Structure 1
Amino acid sequence: MSFFGWAMVFLGLFILAGAVAALLVIRLWRTVKALLRDVADLAARLTGSAAGDRA
């Protein structure tokens, strides 16, 4: 395979790796947001605030 053929292969792999990394970052961010929401709910419940009273 020519140099440009290999360059296209590695460019494709680089783009694929970037897409996978972006998906992992999005999934991690959504998990962190859910955990923060759970911690806030727990804190509200423990302190007896209005949000905890409604639940």
Structure 2
Amino acid sequence: MVHAPGVLEHLAQGNDASRPRIEMGFAVSTVFGLVPFLAGCALVGVICLALKFHQRHYF
């Protein structure tokens, strides 16, 4: 979590030196890194619960 700003900056820039350097703050990194990760985890959890509920009531 602490290294998230540096990782996202690295991914956004790539290896092209002709582009301007991008520097992201902690809040921007949190919004674009942590929030989608947590949303994905929540979606997988809901799908797992739905499958478990479906199997319990139909078998």
Tell whether the structures are fold-level matches, with TM greater than 0.5. yes
Which one has more relative contact order, counting CA pairs under 8 Å at least 6 apart? Answer: 2
TM-score normalized with structure 2 length: 0.53
**Percent identity over paired residues:** 22
Higher helix share: 1
How many residues end up aligned between the 2 structures?
Answer: 37
For structure 1, the residue ranges without an aligned partner over 5 or more in a row are: 39-55
SS at match of 2:34: helix
Cα distance in structure 1, aligned partners of 2:28 and 2:41:
18
**Between Structure 1 and Structure 2, whose CA radius of gyration is higher?**
1
